[in-house]
Chains A and B, each alone.
Chain A
Amino acid sequence: MRVLVTGLSTYWGGRVAQALEKRSDVDVVVGVDTRDPRTQLERTEFVRTDSSHSILARIVRATQVDTIVHTHLVVDSTRATSRTLHEINVIGTMNLLAAASAAGSPVRKVVLKSSGLVYGANKADPYFFREDMQRTGPARTPVERSLLEAEAFVRDFADDNPHVNVSLLRFANVLGVDIDTPFTAALRQPVAPEILGFDPRLQFVHEDDVVDALMYAINNESPGVYNVGADGNLPWSEVCAILGKRRVALPFVLTNLAAEPARIFGLWDLPPEAMALLRFGRTIDNSRFKRAGFRYGYTTPTAVEAFAQALRLAGTIGDSRPSYRYEREVEDFFRHSPAVVRDPA
């Protein structure tokens, strides 16, 4: 298997590349991103480039990759302007899929990491979203719009290229001590936000399950759209209770405006789509991916508990992540210098 990983420098790109490197049936891992990788990689070839079509097409042709893992979809709108969101999610996906569908393309499998954000959170929602259900309200936030647009490209691509196995995974909110999302960031603070009088049920997925799910889609023939969220859901009050956080109520009218001071003072940065979740909640039906054979390591309650334990550990020993800085000369030396003995018997 020859694999191209987009968004290599994002948390997910790095984790997937690490997992791919361990597999003996993976011959080549190529990673692209606009920034340097932040995880230490053994044999992944890194190309620093933006997601312009001509370069991507050349990379695909030159490396003859048969599998593309597209992790470079931004779902956290606190880290990107709406302009960047559009560039990365919409234009980036469009260019990548165009490169993959060029004449004589060797690509036979595409795995994409999307988000449950495409379902939104509205009062008329079903309590459990299946993959074939549409959102019940219009997408108002840039991140939701860009993801919907990106998914539309994916659908077109899958229709036009029936010989390519396209798996689109929509993830619930991820919990994990290594990943920063608006929710994990808010839950690291001494107090957690809530909207006065609302106690919605939320669903989470553990970061390890996210990587496992992506790897499962890479290793298996499972074309189609799949929801990936842990079993069960929890009221927000209970999530906070398990984490031992006090809740501070925001008013139920003009909520986003009232949350602005908290954002400015760096307490919580909850974008409107996260606020909608604190009002209406969302659970996605994970049964389709389970029927396809995937097994979760965590349920929603155990994922929250695992996060609580990881936070306690981090609170005591500090950040346990080894800091890593990518240096091209060093990496090139270890990968390509004839002086380095590879495969020591």
Chain B
Amino acid sequence: MVTDGPEHAAERALEIAAATHPDVDLSDLDAAVGDPAVGRELVPIVRAVPDPADEVRRSDVDRWGRSEHFRELTRRAFDPIYKYWFRVEWEGFEHLPEEGGALLVANHAGAIPPDAPSIMHGIEKDLGRPVYGLAENLFRTMPVVGTLWSRSGGVAAHPDNAYRLLHDEERLVLVFPEGTKGTGKHYRDRYRLRRFGRGGFVDIAMRAGVPVIPIAVMGAEETMPILFKSPRLAKMLNVPYFPVTANMLAFGPAGLVAYLPAKFRIRVLPPVSFDVPPNQERYSRSRVMEESERIRRMVQDALYDMLRTRRSVWFG
């Protein structure tokens, strides 16, 4: 272009520099660019030094498979459900740390559990930190679903994955120690927490030197209650459980994706820190199980407490 003089080049360079280096004060240079006399001599000195590896990237998928761009899209799609369907309300949100790694431990419920997306949505929206959700590696075997799960922050629940996220990258990591035992339980067992695995989450938190933040979720149990289960079909389809939910009875096949509009309340409990040195080879088994049981108790008690004051499943 003929009009593309040095001023324009300088302005463009400044724009790029401002976008890539938000922490650098560019106002002096900006003034210099504004002044035509200076602009002619002045070659912009603030040059972005981009990582050559990033320059050739075509997407923003990180090394865990999460894409912030994709999360942005899913957040936009999920926001109305979060706001108007589940009407999620948080208590104790201030317990979530602004920086540093932390292991978020929550109860798990609903045949296709809506608690994970709700917790991740709320934290990413209001705290502005990405949340990585640990889940069964069953997801990794599922075409399409597994890829979408991974792009939205899902990570296979391997102890080493959790350790790297918490210790090396200081991320927020969400885990449901009940696993499929929590989501696959009958409606009649609602809000009665299952076994917290083998306490592996405590072991990882100790090793990574991060606190555990217990989270109690009320409402997910009623969004997709399991009435019956078919162990035979589950075995045939190679899934942990095959539920017949109230939603299926009410809406037919659409019940697979249609949640009942139960009111969500999420209570974040004070962080639990373990005063043990990180990066040990092994931690006392009894200590791990004790802490695991204590955290489970905390979540269970918080749930009982919340249920005591709940007047309606649908209106809270």
Interface residues of A (CB under 8 A from B): 123-128, 130, 133, 195-199, 201, 231-235, 237-238, 241-242, 252, 280, 283, 299-302, 304-305
The one of B53, B58, B65, B138 that contacts A232, using a Cβ cutoff of 8 Å: B53
Residues of the B chain whose Cβ atoms lie less than 8 Å from the Cβ of A241? 58-59
The distance in angstroms between the C-alpha atoms of A304 and B137, with both chains bound, is 28
The residue in chain B whose Cβ has the minimal distance to the Cβ of A230 is B53
In Å, the complex CA distance between A201 and B61 comes to: 9
Contact B161 A127 (CB under 8 A): yes
Interface size on B, residues (CB 8 A): 28
Inter-chain contact B59/A252, CB cutoff 8 Å: no
B140 touches A302 (CB 8 A): no
Assess whether B235 is interfacial by the CB under 8 Å rule. Answer: no
Contact A127 B54 (CB under 8 A): no
List of A residues within 8 angstroms of B137 by Cβ: 123-124
B230 at the interface (CB under 8 A from A): no
Cβ-based interface call for B147 (8 A):
yes
**Chain A binding surface SS class:** loop
Q: B158 and A125: CB pair below 8 A?
A: yes
CB-based contact B65/A201 at 8 Å: yes
Residues of B within 8 A of A201 (CB): 61, 63, 65
Within 8 A of A (CB), among B140-172: 140-147, 150, 155-156, 158, 160-161, 164
Whether the pair A238, B63 counts as a contact (CB closer than 8 A) is no
**Contact present for A197 and B58 (CB under 8 Å):** no
Query: Among the listed B53, B141, B143, B158, which residue makes an inter-chain contact with A196, where contact means beta carbons less than 8 Å apart?
Result: B143
Using A199-B150, A238-B58 as known contacts, list a sample of 13 further A-B pairs with CB atoms less than 8 Å apart, ordered by residue number in A. Answer: A123-B141, A124-B137, A127-B155, A127-B164, A196-B143, A196-B144, A198-B146, A201-B63, A232-B53, A238-B59, A283-B63, A300-B53, A301-B54
Distance in Å: Cβ of B176 to nearest Cβ of chain A:
18
Q: Are B147 and A199 in contact (CB under 8 A)?
A: yes
Contact call B61/A127, Cβ cutoff below 8 A: no
Shortest C-beta distance, A247 to chain B (Å), equals 13
When C-beta atoms are compared, the residue in chain A nearest to B150 turns out to be A199
Tell which of B57, B147, B161 touches A197, judged by Cβ atoms closer than 8 Å. Answer: B147
Chain B window 206-241, contacts with chain A (Cβ cutoff 8 Å), 1 for yes, 0 for no: 000000000000000000000000000000000000
Flag if B147 contacts A242 (CB, 8 Å).
no
User: B52 on the interface (CB 8 Å rule)?
Assistant: yes
Q: How far is the CA of A128 from the CA of B142 in the complex (A)?
A: 20
- B151, closest chain A residue (CB): A199
Contact (Cβ within 8 A) A198 B147: yes
B77: Cβ under 8 A from any A Cβ: no
Please state if B158 and A124 are interface contacts (CB–CB under 8 Å).
Answer: yes
A300's nearest neighbour on chain B, judged by CB, is: B53
Which partner residue on chain B sits nearest A231 by CB separation? B53
Structural contact, B160 and A128, CB atoms closer than 8 A: yes
Is the beta-carbon distance between A197 and B64 smaller than 8 angstroms?
Answer: no
| B contact residues around A126 at 8 Å (CB) | 158, 160-161
In the bound complex, CA of A199 to CA of B61 (Å): 11
* B1 contacts partner chain A, Cβ-Cβ < 8 Å: no
Q: Is the CB of B56 within 8 A of A242?
A: yes
For the complex formed, measure the closest distance between the CB of A297 and the CB atoms of chain B, giving whole angstroms.
11
B140 touching A197 by the CB < 8 A rule?
no
Question: In whole angstroms, what is the CA distance A123 to B146 when docked?
Answer: 11
- A44 to B54 CA separation, bound complex (whole angstroms): 41
